Chains A and B, each alone.
Chain A
Amino acid sequence: MSPSPSLHLAVALDGTGWHPASWREPVSRPQDLFTAGHWAGLVAEAERGLLDFVTFEDGLGLQSSHLLEPDDRTDQVRGRLDAVLLAARIAPLTRHIGFVPTVVATHTEPFHISKAIATLDYVSTGRAGLRVQITARSNEAAHFGRRTIPRIEAFDSPDAQELVTDLFDEAADYVEAVRRLWDSWEDDAEIRDVTTGRFIDRDKLHYIDFEGGHFSVKGPSITPRPPQGQPVVSALAHRTVPYRLVARQADIGYVTPHDAGQARAIVAEIRAEQEAAGRAAEPVHVFGDLVVFLDDDPAEAAARRDRLDTLAGEEYRSDARIFTGTPAQLADLLEELRAAGLTGFRLRPAVHGHDLPAITRGLVPELQRRDAFRRTYEADTLRGLLGLTRPASRYATA
């Protein structure tokens, strides 16, 4: 992959922010969480900061403080809107920023998601992606009732590992089916040939005939090939099995190193899996995920985190490293992690109303001063912003 002139920055949006007490901050307006206006404002701020894209979290059950099962808590944000529809609702209000909603592969249909993301690409004129995730929660399986997922007692048990490996293999199949559907119309399939009366050249439409362990899909898509050809596929990954999904099927992997050494090791593992999957030559971004508390004074940021922890009644923990400090200190850290092989970052603002503007108005100018971030949007599509070329359809005959 040719070296990118600048690092890439995304912001992960979820509720009022990633700290469970973020909704109690005066700057948060939790009553607005289920309105389009709330999200439009956040995305406008991210676009003002020239960020590459936003992600929207999603899930097929209520949020929970427990990793594997629901809770009955009433003191945290619960309930959310469908991430793909949310992205589609906001996209027409913006011009440059990318939209990457979360999609759960375990209980949904690759055919539906393929056309939904292709359509998101149309409504955003080339700025769509998706973040694929699995769910191993038995309660979410019970919301669908067509497969049983046993209740996992511990993630590290052999049974749980086997289940999770199977779900990730299914997710890889899912993305493969989705990608084939995107390619199933060649770019110039619509001919509108008045002389012969043909609207399409059907020789440029292709059955995908996908057969996997959990589903099969005939194709072709009903939606013509999206503007980017292939919208951007991403996945969050914490260990070898999901790294393999990233290596096999993704354009971006989000990883959670806590220092430069871990970052280097993770990147090496993903590159090795890429090679094993026969994709060594293809560009795959590895983004570091970080939760951020940003203030002009490092002590202020630390005090804010303490205050929120006190409100929450417990210390906030995360799979990702939690950064507390100034925009300049964060810029130092990002440059260090970038030198270890990461190509970009997905920042999780602890409190959207506070930390998102701190990213766009504090961190971004700091990175620009260091010539480490763009000063203007240089491309019209998300692939373009990420330095990814537009691929030809795999079915196209030259």
Chain B
Amino acid sequence: MSKPLKQIHLAAHFPGVNNTTVWSDPAAGSHIEFSSFAHFARTAERARFDFLFLAEGLRLREQGGKIYDLDVVGRPDTFTVLAALAAVTDHLGLTGTINSTFNEPYEVARQFASLDHLSGGRAAWNVVTSWDAFTGENFRRGGFLPQDERYSRAKEFLATTHELFDSWHGDEILADQASGTFLSDAKAGAFVHQGQHFDIEGRFNVPRSPQGRPVIFQAGDSDEGREFAASGADAIFSRYATLKEGQEFYTDVKSRLAKYGRGHDQLKILPAASFVLGDTDAEAEELAREVRRRQVSGATAIKHLEFVWNRDLSSYDPEGPLPDIDPDLGEHHIARGRAQVRMYRDPLAVAREWRERAAANNWSIRDLVIETGNRQNFVGSPATVAKTINDYVQADASDGFILVPHITPGGLDGFADKVVPLLQEQGVFRTEYEGPTLRDHLGLAHPDAVAEERAAS
């Protein structure tokens, strides 16, 4: 008996501050004006995507002691844009990254509960942590958090917000005009939390929202990060959008669910993926090469090399060979505020490997960065891309993908018009939304229903 076809989950990431975005393209629009976000969100909803995803920035990136100026710089506030997008969409999930280090549980919980009310149950939170004093310089708390406390604070932060969400059960607002009883419970919203990071008590002031709690997303690739996601997240963002790596990650993370009493489908695995479409596969390949050249200018290539070398390499020619000096292994100071920096855990080994690959292929610095840098996951005609995505999902490399176009706000239009209909024809992607909430789209239970099942079993 053959396995039933999995339904694909698709989402869209509004790209921002990294060199994926080809801002120099004549078709590129604003990354700040609301009309750009509205266009992008409407396209995603027209294509019946599960959700739109927005990242967050809390300090402008710097390189060599100066604000980084080669990529898109600047973004709007995540919560505020998502709330406004709820006004121009009816079904699309609204997912935002919100840092648990430079916020407090009471405020974040009331913002997410408010967003869930204001969107009719479409809010999702990508929980991330930060520990760096560099970002902390913009906040009251400063940069206090030792790296080994990242997940302990994040876990307690998340648990505390759940206590706040759950402090209202959903039946307290009677609003009975005849009897004059507004609340059925004089202690609605009461909470007490005493822990290592938070010691708070009182009354939460947002009544229970349509989804009960926002959908929880988590990103993070370390063993701790995977475990954190398996223990309680509804979806995980992964970096592994290739078949083999994706399958390994998928198997590993899904295997962790059982020990938390969770089913295989209770955690969706959604890698970010870029795509380039052409009328034919050959045309798409040609276009993809052009996009890669535009994403990595000579100056950008040097800056990328500096992440690994942790040195000023501005005297090197991007069209020349790689530097023969070794990376500076001291504290990373060349690039600050950049997430990619953490990807290179062993700079000496990376530098050695890159030098060998460049020499073997006769690559310049720029060629090397193009070849090792941004992956283009799906390149081809609409039919090829639709087939590849479906093959990956059916082969358990993921439950779907978060698509990142290289142009905003129109970069999703072609995918919506040409690829989505093919997936729908194959019966692996919805033609209409299953329900009004993001939990409905993702096939996730309402948290109250989960509690009831547990109580009954």
- Enumerate chain A interface residues (CB-CB to B < 8 A): 21, 23-26, 28, 30-31, 33-36, 59-63, 70, 72-82, 84-86, 88-93, 107-109, 111-112, 115-116, 118-120, 122-123, 125, 139-140, 142-146, 185, 190, 192, 194, 197-202, 205, 214-220, 222-224, 311
Contacts and interface: CB of A to CB of B under 8 A. Distances in A.
Given A61-B202, A86-B114, A200-B74, A120 B80 contact: yes
Given A107-B104, A199-B23, A145 B199 contact: yes
A-B pairs, 3 with minimum CB distance: A30-B175, A88-B83, A119-B80
A62 B189 contact: yes
B299 A89 contact: no
Given A23-B177, A62-B205, A79-B205, A222 B106 contact: no
A145 B102 CA distance: 14
Contacts of B177: 23-26, 28, 30
B183 interface: yes
Contact of B182 (A76, A84, A91, A224): A76
B180 A24 contact: yes
A41 to B, nearest CB: 14
Given A70-B203, A198-B69, A86 B104 contact: no
B137 A75 contact: no
B200 A145 contact: yes
Contacts of B75: 222-223
Interface string B57-90: 1111000001101111111110111011011100
A140 B110 CA distance: 13
A311 B177 CA distance: 10
Given A85-B79, A311-B180, A60 B205 contact: yes
B76 A118 contact: yes
28 contacts: A25-B177, A30-B177, A31-B175, A60-B205, A74-B181, A75-B181, A76-B182, A78-B182, A79-B205, A79-B206, A86-B83, A90-B87, A93-B87, A107-B104, A111-B58, A116-B77, A116-B80, A119-B77, A142-B200, A143-B106, A143-B202, A144-B104, A200-B67, A202-B66, A218-B138, A223-B75, A223-B77, A224-B74
Nearest to B37: A123
B77 A118 contact: yes
B384 interface: no
A200 B73 contact: yes
B206 A80 contact: yes
B34 interface: yes
Interface in B132-184: 137-141, 173, 175, 177, 180-184
Given A123-B81, A145-B198, A217-B139, 20 more contacts: A23-B177, A36-B120, A74-B181, A74-B184, A77-B182, A78-B182, A82-B114, A84-B83, A85-B115, A85-B118, A86-B83, A107-B107, A112-B103, A115-B77, A122-B76, A125-B34, A143-B203, A199-B23, A202-B69, A218-B137
B374 interface: no
B444 interface: no
A112 to B, nearest CB: 7
B60 A222 contact: yes
A192 B24 CA distance: 7
Contact of A205 (B60, B83, B117): B60
B40 to A, nearest CB: 14
Interface in B260-300: 297, 299-300
The contact size tier of chain B is 35 or more
Interface of B: 23-24, 32-34, 38, 57-60, 66-67, 69-77, 79-81, 83-84, 86-88, 102-104, 106-107, 110-111, 114-115, 117-120, 137-141, 173, 175, 177, 180-189, 198-203, 205-207, 209, 297, 299-300
B80 A123 contact: yes
B104 A146 contact: yes
Contacts of A85: 79-80, 83, 111, 114-115, 118
Contacts of B111: 82, 85
B102 A82 contact: no
Contacts of B185: 74
B160 to A, nearest CB: 10
B109 to A, nearest CB: 10
Nearest to B186: A72
Nearest to A29: B175
B118 A79 contact: no
A190 B34 CA distance: 16
A123 B86 CA distance: 12
Contact of B88 (A92, A199, A220): A92
A190 B173 CA distance: 48
Nearest to A218: B137
A92 B73 contact: no
A268 B139 CA distance: 37
Contacts of A36: 86-87, 117-120
A144 B157 CA distance: 12
Contacts of B141: 146
B70 A122 contact: no
Contacts of A198: 69-70
B38 A92 contact: yes
B182 A109 contact: no
Given A74-B182, A200-B73, A219-B138, A81 B114 contact: yes
B326 to A, nearest CB: 28
A31 B175 CA distance: 6
Contacts of A109: 102-103, 139-140
